[in-house]
């Protein structure tokens, strides 16, 4: 059962080929057996999962089931879950139990889905390898000596290893698309505002976006359907109708204009990755798509722009964790100043403290105009490049990551080298666009990801292109041998 897709499991449950309780029991046993190798989950909520599965079976017997009723999933540990620990991968929130659900969690529960547990992640979503978690690094199911990507590496590894058919994640600078590529699964970052951020612990508020990990584009469409839509509790939520994503999957690609971004295929791209991507583009051409070359002249500004804006917003958002209201508090503080200093010094890890320091610096008097304001202007230039590109084409194509999964510890001591891991994904967040990564090949047994980028709120088109590509290829059906 662990090898079935979300769509296949939904059909099996509807036909009574299996019950939700049987499926949930199977996946919980699989997690218990194998997650010691991966460390992909922080919390396994077995008792509540089985109770929810039994309730789902009862709803189905009573004729009140929806398509996703009884299907298990895993939530990234950045989403608040009422009564279940939400740590954000940090010592600061090691024992925090929220009193309410995030909107994403609430909507998945309303769809009848069963939460198995909470996925490991880079601390406060800051990282590109899932090595900054207080609970230890996550390992890649394809090679346990390599990283799964980050910050949503736990969610990606769990889906790739068959612990759940789907999982939620968040993407601030590529934290869904990059780990999806490195773990050989499908990862969708929706348009900023398409999925509510209410109850999602903030890193960089103008960049963070909840999204989906799945085996296929079809599965991603089904889960996004349940999650998406306006939420009055989120001031950045878009008040737009949600299309039927599954209905759009079968549209032919004849006449679709695809733009290959030259700047993504330049220096720094692994030759093997480039070769796999060229073959993938050929598949899209074979399906009738028209392929042209396009330029994003300001793309080179994306990494420095992001690493001014994101730390600045993190500095502001994380100021609430002070040892007073909730979260970690140091032992026996001498006075209030000592409480603040020691609680934050002991509660946050090195990468989080590094970004807080950078953010505080660029927001400080005398440097705000020189750094933060200039970065916002660069962000506009990058967004305008995308706007002009979409006047020529319908979808942009790029590598999801410049290389396959790198080894654990390989970049841990070089922050700049680590930051460049997201070089192919950051610009999409700066512009607020949707993007999806799908498996498109392998190099020495390690997955390669193809990234598709669309206009604002055109997730349906991206899912359509990804689905048609997956009908012609079987890379998304490949499984790590160790977790077959």
Question: Which pLDDT tens digit goes with each residue over 418-450?
Answer: 998 999 999 999 999 999 999 999 999 999 999
Residue range(s) of every CATH 3.90.1300.10 domain in the chain = 6-256+392-483
* Catalytic entry in 20, 76, 90, 196: 76
Task: Choose, from 19, 20, 40, 151, the residue flagged as catalytic.
Answer: 151
- Please tell me the predicted confidence (pLDDT) of residue 239: 97
Look at 34-38, 144-148, 322-326, 377-381 and tell me which has the smallest mean pLDDT.
Answer: 322-326
Query: How many percent of the chain have pLDDT more than 70?
Result: 100
Q: Point out which residues pair with 206 in neighbouring strands.
A: none
Mean pLDDT of 109-134: 98
Indicate the pLDDT class of residue 368, thresholds 50, 70 and 90. Answer: very high
pLDDT tens-place string over residues 342-364: 999 999 999 999 999 999 999 99
For residue 292, give Cα distances in angstroms to 256, 261, 379.
Answer: 11, 9, 25
- Per-residue pLDDT at 484 exceeds 90: no
Give the confidence band of 4 by pLDDT, cuts at 50, 70, 90: very high
Structure tokens at 264: 């993504």
- The percent of residues in the chain predicted with pLDDT above 90, rounded, is 97
CB count within 10 Å of CB 263 equals: 18
pLDDT tens by residue, 60-95: 999 999 999 999 999 999 999 999 999 999 999 999
Size of the chain, expressed as the number of residues it contains: 484
User: Rounded to two decimals, what is the model's pTM?
Assistant: 0.97
Residue among 20, 90, 175, 302 flagged as catalytic: 175
Q: Give the pLDDT band of residue 187 (cuts 50, 70, 90).
A: very high
Q: What is the average pLDDT score of the chain?
A: 97
The tens digit of pLDDT for each residue in 207-266 reads 999 999 999 999 999 999 999 999 999 999 999 999 999 999 999 999 999 999 999 998
* 151 assigned to active site: yes
Q: In the annotation, is 319 catalytic?
A: no
Q: Note the pLDDT of residue 416.
A: 87
Cβ atoms of 394 and 417 closer than 8 Å = no
Q: What is the reported pLDDT for 206? A: 98
The CATH architecture one would assign to domain 6-256+392-483 is Alpha-Beta Complex (3.90)
């Amino acid at each position: 059962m662990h090898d079935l897709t979300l769509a296949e499991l939904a059909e099996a449950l509807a036909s009574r080929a299996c019950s939700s309780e049987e499926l949930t029991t199977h996946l919980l046993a699989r997690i218990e057996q194998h997650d010691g190798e991966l460390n992909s989950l922080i919390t396994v909520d077995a008792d509540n999962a089985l109770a929810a599965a039994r309730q789902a079976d009862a709803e189905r017997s009573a004729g009140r089931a929806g398509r996703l009723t009884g299907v298990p999933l895993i939530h990234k540990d950045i989403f608040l879950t009422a009564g279940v620990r939400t740590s954000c991968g940090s010592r600061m929130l090691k024992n925090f139990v929220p009193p309410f659900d995030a909107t994403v969690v609430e909507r998945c529960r309303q769809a009848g889905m069963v939460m198995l547990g909470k996925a490991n992640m880079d601390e406060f979503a800051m990282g590109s390898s899932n090595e900054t978690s207080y609970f230890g690094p996550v390992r890649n199911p394809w090679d346990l000596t390599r990283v799964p990507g980050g910050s949503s590496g736990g969610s990606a590894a769990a889906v790739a290893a068959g612990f759940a058919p789907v999982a939620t994640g968040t993407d601030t600078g590529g934290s869904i698309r990059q780990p999806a590529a490195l773990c050989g699964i499908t990862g969708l970052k929706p348009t900023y505002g398409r999925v509510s951020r209410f109850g999602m612990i903030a890193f960089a508020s103008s960049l963070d976006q909840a999204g989906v990990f799945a085996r296929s584009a079809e599965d991603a469409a089904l889960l996004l359907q349940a999650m998406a839509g306006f939420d009055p509790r989120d001031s950045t939520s878009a008040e737009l109708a949600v299309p039927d994503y599954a209905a759009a999957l079968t549209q032919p690609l004849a006449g679709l204009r695809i733009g290959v971004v030259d700047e993504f295929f330049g220096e720094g791209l692994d030759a093997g990755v480039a070769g796999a991507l060229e073959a993938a583009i050929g598949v899209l051409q074979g399906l009738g798509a028209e392929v042209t070359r396009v330029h994003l002249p300001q793309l080179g500004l994306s990494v420095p722009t992001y690493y001014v804006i994101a730390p600045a917003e993190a500095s502001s958002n994380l100021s609430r964790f002070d040892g007073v209201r909730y979260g970690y508090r140091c032992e026996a503080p001498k006075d209030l100043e000592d409480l603040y200093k020691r609680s934050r010094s002991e509660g946050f890890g090195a990468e989080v403290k590094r970004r807080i320091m950078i953010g505080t610096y660029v927001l400080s008097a005398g440097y705000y105009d020189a750094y933060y304001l200039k970065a916002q202007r660069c962000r506009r230039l990058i967004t305008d490049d995308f706007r002009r590109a979409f006047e020529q084409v319908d979808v942009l194509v790029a590598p999801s990551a410049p290389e396959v999964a790198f080894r654990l510890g390989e970049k841990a001591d070089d922050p700049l080298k680590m930051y460049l891991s997201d070089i192919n994904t950051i610009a999409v967040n700066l512009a607020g666009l949707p993007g999806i990564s799908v498996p498109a090949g392998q190099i020495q047994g390690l997955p390669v990801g193809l990234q598709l980028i669309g206009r604002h709120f055109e997730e349906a088109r991206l899912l359509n292109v990804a689905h048609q590509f997956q009908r012609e290829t079987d890379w998304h059906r490949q499984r790590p041998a160790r977790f077959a």
